[in-house]
């Protein structure tokens, strides 16, 4: 997930107005079976980690944990 986040942030897009845009992503991670016993539980856990990453700041990777989400990596 961290390699993907870094690769996306390296992309430079030129707009039609000659501005450059650098995209960023935030990623939430959940693991089977620790964070969910079925697809629905895993998606819910990953979604919670994603919103945690977005709350901390853009361009982050966060992992779900039973005691709360853990920030794995951030450019901020």
pLDDT digits (tens, 9 = 90+) for 50-62: 999 898 888 889 9
Say if residue 74's pLDDT is above 70: no
- Domains of the chain, each with CATH number or no CATH: 2-66 (3.30.70.270)
Q: Does the CA dihedral 27-56-59-62 come out positive or negative? A: negative
Q: What is the pLDDT of residue 76?
A: 56
**Rg of the chain in Å (alpha carbons):** 15
Global confidence as pTM: 0.77
Instruction: State the first-to-last Cα distance of the chain, in angstroms, to the nearest integer.
Output: 16
pLDDT digits (tens, 9 = 90+) for 7-51: 998 999 998 888 998 899 999 999 999 999 999 999 999 999 999
In this prediction, residues 50-75 reach a mean pLDDT of: 81
């Amino acid at each position: 997930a961290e390699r993907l986040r870094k690769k996306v942030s390296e992309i430079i897009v030129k707009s039609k107005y000659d501005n450059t845009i650098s995209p960023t992503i935030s990623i939430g991670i959940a693991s089977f079976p620790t964070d969910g016993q079925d697809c629905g539980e895993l998606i819910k856990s990953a979604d919670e980690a994603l919103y945690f990453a977005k709350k901390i700041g853009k361009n982050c990777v966060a992992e779900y944990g039973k005691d709360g989400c853990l920030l794995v990596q951030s450019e901020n």
